[in-house]
Structures are given as structure tokens and as C-alpha cells.
Structure 1
Amino acid sequence: MDTIEIQRVVAIEDDNWWYRERRGIVARELRRIGVPGTAVDIGAAGGGNTKVLMEHGWQAVAVDSAPAAVDLCLAQGITAYLGDARFLPLPSATYDLALALNVLEHVEDDRAAAAEIARVLRPGGTALVSVPCDMSLWSAHDVALGRVRRYAKADLAGVLEGAGLRVERLWNCNVLLRPLVRWRRHRARYCEDMADAPPIVNELLSLVSAVERRLPVKSWPGVTLFARAYRAD
């Protein structure tokens, strides 16, 4: 993620429907884990998700490959390190939780990045990972964001399990919005990002996300995949 994109994310993420929903997922997973511990936010960008960890009592650090992202985190009082997802500048078997939200799709060697997630986790530690799903949704949007791929469920599970992580749960998000996303992105010759929606559309999309949380649709095809896994040994 380049400096301009990082600054854009920081400017919109507190109010934007997509970032709010993702933070909500993180918060719900933290409540499931229970007692806070140590955590690392890999690919932290401006530190929005790192702050969610800290607000829930976790001792969190951020890692990003962009100097601008590290600077933004440090300016907010977040402990942050410059580092590649394939070579994390962190000690082994140290963290109770690792976040890697929308990271693996940007890494050519995603298996190396998954192995690093496993390496820094303590035995029994949890990994929470998200990626864009389904190559049939590939569009100019993915190219503009520097993605290498989108994932099927089996692909993501294979990458995580190949790194020594055991997948507890794998689920879809933005299921109800998938037809709109598919139509909107495939008709465009350039990047159209629903994260930049006008205020009234932003609220409508927030409402759709809230409705989806109450429906049994997480096994249906969506736009984003989430996985919760743990290090067994």
C-alpha cells in the first residue's frame, strides 16, 4: 500500500461502512478469545485495527512494509516496526494473536507470509486472516490495489494449514453485496471502490452489513473471506 492509499484509508476508516464492519468482526473475535494478551497487526497501514486491539486491552504492535504507515502508527502512540510480511522483525513464539487483514493477497509468496504468522505465534495462539475471495470477481479494482490473487476457501485453508496452522473457522463476508460488487467492478475499466461511497450510500451499505450479520449466510459466496486458525504446537 503506497503513501497516498494509506493516507486515504486513515482519512475515511472511522466512518466508512467497510472499515467499520471489519473492525466489528475483529472486536467480536476478541470477545470470543476472552482474556487479552499480546498481539501483532501485520500490514497495519494507519493502525486502525491495532487501535481496536489496544482498546480491548491487548498489548499490540504494528508491522507494515511502508515507512509512511509506520510513521502514522508511531504518531498515534502505537509501537510499530518496518517489515515485510515474509520476514517479520519479531521474535518467534511471542504473540497470542496475529492479525493479517487483507495482506496475503498482496504477497507473491503467500505461503512464506503464512509461515511467519505461525512462527511469531505462541503454541495455541490465534491467527485472524482476511482476504478477497473468488477470482471470478477479479477486476481493475484488484489491479489498482496491487493484489496478486483472490482466494477460494480451499486455497486459503491450504495456505494456512501448510504453514502449520489449524483452521477453526472459515467464513464469507459481504455476501448480500456480492451481486452489486460483481456488476459494478466488471462494468468499469478503472478502479471503482465502494469504500469511497457518498454519505447516504455509505449508510445504506452499513445497513446491509448489519442485516447480513443476522442472517445464516456466511457459507454462501461473498466478497471477502475470513479465517480463524491457531498454532497447535
Structure 2
Amino acid sequence: MEATEIRKLAALEDTHWWYRERRALLSRALKKLPRPGTALDIGAAGGGNTRVLRANGWQPVALEYSPDGAQVAAERGLNVIRADARALPLPSASLDLVVAFDILEHIDEDHAAAGEIHRTLRPGGTALIAVPCDMRLWSAHDVAVGHVRRYTRDTLTSVVEKAGLVIDELWSWNVLLRPVAAWRRRKSTGSDLDDLPNVVNMGLTAIIAAERYLPVKSLPGVSLMLRAHRQI
């Protein structure tokens, strides 16, 4: 992701509907896990998810490839390291949790990053992964934010299982707003990460939050979410 996009993300992530609901999703996922332990937030950028981990009692490290992302995370008082997700500078079997939200789609060798997640997790450790889905939604937005692919359920499953992880749950996210996203992406000329008027932001927040209570996880969405664990 370009430095300008990282700075934009850092400025917006506390209030933007998409990032707020994704943090809420992470917080809910954490409550289903055993007691907190060591965690790695790959591609932490502004550190929003890292702060969720810390608030829920985990001992998190934010990992960023770009100097700008690492600097933003450090400025926010987070424990941060700069490294490549394909070669994590951490001992094998040293983590209880790895969070990789919207990371794999930026990496040509996504299998290598998934393999590193497996290597660094302790047996029984959890991986929480999010990726954009469906190449029919490919647009200038994907180019602007540095994506190299969007996933299907089958392609994401293949990458994760070949790395040795066991999938516990795989579901769609941002389902209700998929028609809006598809329409906007057709007209897109760049990143659609914008500072929205409050009334629009509140409306989108209400819609995306409604997915918590509706049976839509099996329907096509804009993103795929996955929970997996290392068996051995």
C-alpha cells in the first residue's frame, strides 16, 4: 500500500464505517478464543486492529512492511516491527494468535505468507484472516491500494490449507452493501477510501452492523473472513 494510502487510512480508521465494523468483528472473534496470549497483527498500518488486541488483553506486536506504516503504529505507542510477511522474524511456534486482515491480496507469494502464519503459531493457535473477494469486483480501487488478486472461497481455502492450517469457519462479510460496492467500483478511478459526511457514515455503519444479526454469511459479499488453527 502506498504511503499516502496508509496515512489516509490512519486518519480515517477511528471513525470510518468500514474500519469500525471490522474492529468490532475482530473484538467479537477474540471473545470466542481461549484466554489471551501473544499475538501478531500483520500489516497493522495505523494499528487499529492492534489496539483492539491490546484492549482485549492480548500482548500484541504490530508488523508493517512499509516504513510509513511502521512509523504511524509507533507514533500511536504500539510495539511494532518492520518485516516481510513472507519471512517473519519470529521463532517457530511462538504465537497464540495471528491476525492478517487484508494482507494476502497484496502479496504475490501469498502461500509463503500463509506458511509463515502456520510456522509461527503454536499448536492450537488461531489465525484470523480477511481478504477481498470476487474478481468481478476488481476495479481501479484494487490497483490504487496495491492488490494483486481478489479471492474466491476455493482459492482462499486452498492457500490456507496448503500452508497446513485447519479451517474452522469461513464466511462472507459486507454482504448487504455488495450492490453498492459493485456499482461504485464500476465508476472508480482510484481508491474509494474517503472521508464521508457524518450522515452517510452513520447510515453505512447501521447497514453493515445489521449483518451481525442476519443469516447472510453464506451469500456473496465484498470480503471473506476466515478463522483457522494450527493442529500440529
Q: Same fold (TM over 0.5)?
A: yes
Return the letter of the residue paired with 2:104.
L
CA–CA distance in 2 between the matches of 1:194 and 1:82?
Answer: 24
Return the letter of the residue paired with 2:169.
R
Q: CA deviation at 1:192?
A: 5.0
Equivalent position SS for 2:32 = helix
Equivalent position SS for 1:60 = strand
Q: What TM-score, normalized to structure 2?
A: 0.97
Match of 1:80 in 2: 80
Q: CA deviation at 1:2?
A: 2.3
Identical counterparts, % of pairs? 53
Matches within 5 A, 1:24-63: 24-63=24-63
Match of 2:67 in 1: 67
Equivalent position SS for 1:191 = coil
Q: Is the 8 A contact 2:141 2:192 kept in 1?
A: yes
The alignment of Structure 1 onto Structure 2 pairs a total of residues equal to: 232
RMSD, matched Cα = 1.1
Equivalent position SS for 1:129 = strand
Q: CA deviation at 1:70?
A: 1.4
Q: Is the 8 A contact 1:169 1:227 kept in 2?
A: yes
Specify every segment of 5 or more residues in structure 1 that has no aligned partner in the other structure, as ranges: none
Q: Is the 8 A contact 1:123 1:231 kept in 2?
A: yes
CA–CA distance in 1 between the matches of 2:56 and 2:194?
Answer: 25
- After the TM superposition, which parts of structure 1 deviate over 4 Å for at least 4 consecutive aligned residues? none
Match of 2:215 in 1: 216
Q: Which deviations, in whole Å up to 9, do the C-alpha atoms of 1:10-30 show, x marking residues without a partner?
A: 111111100001001100011
CA–CA distance in 2 between the matches of 1:182 and 1:74?
Answer: 35
Does 2:161 correspond to 1:172?
A: no
Match of 1:114 in 2: 114
Q: CA deviation at 1:181?
A: 0.6
Q: CA deviation at 1:168?
A: 0.4
Q: Is the 8 A contact 1:88 1:116 kept in 2?
A: yes
Q: CA 1:181 to 1:194, structure 2 compared with 1: closer, same or farther past 3 Å?
A: farther
Does 2:197 correspond to 1:198?
A: yes
Equivalent position SS for 1:24 = helix
Match of 1:3 in 2: 3
Match of 2:225 in 1: 226
CA–CA distance in 2 between the matches of 1:74 and 1:211?
Answer: 34
CA–CA distance in 2 between the matches of 1:105 and 1:89?
Answer: 21
Q: CA deviation at 1:77?
A: 2.1
Matches within 5 A, 1:94-133: 94-133=94-133
Q: Which deviations, in whole Å up to 9, do the C-alpha atoms of 1:5-61 show, x marking residues without a partner?
A: 111111111111000010011000110004111100000111110010000110000
Q: Which deviations, in whole Å up to 9, do the C-alpha atoms of 1:90-143 show, x marking residues without a partner?
A: 111100000000000000000001001111100010000000000111111101
Specify every segment of 5 or more residues in structure 2 that has no aligned partner in the other structure, as ranges: none
Q: Which deviations, in whole Å up to 9, do the C-alpha atoms of 1:148-191 show, x marking residues without a partner?
A: 00000011011000000000000001101001110111133x02
Match of 1:158 in 2: 158
Return the letter of the residue paired with 1:134.
D
Q: CA deviation at 1:206?
A: 0.2
Q: Is the 8 A contact 2:62 2:78 kept in 1?
A: yes
